[in-house]
Amino acid sequence: MTEEMVVHAANEIKKKIKGALLDRDMTQVELAKLLDVNAQVLNRAIHGDMSPRSIEIRTQIYKVLAIK
């Protein structure tokens, strides 16, 4: 996967999550509290970080926000 594709995929993830938050009138801080994670850790996950913890958090985000 080229660097451009990685950046594009990360941006798509961010758009989906941010859009779902807007649809629910929810902030990232509220989501972080709901998932019981630090807001900075949540922010890294939303912005496409590929660490195992970020991937786990994104999986939780998808479930909570009903993102497919």
pLDDT tens digit sequence for 8-67: 989 999 999 999 999 999 999 999 999 999 999 999 999 999 999 999 999 999 999 999
Give me the amino acid identity at 56: E
What pLDDT is attached to residue 46?
96
Residue 1 binned pLDDT confidence (cut-offs 50, 70, 90): low
Question: What's the CATH number for 3-65?
Answer: 1.10.260
* Annotated domain spans of the chain: 3-65
What pLDDT is attached to residue 6?
86
What b/e sequence results for 18-29 when a residue is b if at least 16 CB atoms lie within 10 Å of its CB, and e otherwise?
A: eebbeeeeeeee
Q: Residue 68: exposed, middle, or buried by beta-carbon count in 10 A (0-12, 13-18, 19+)?
A: exposed
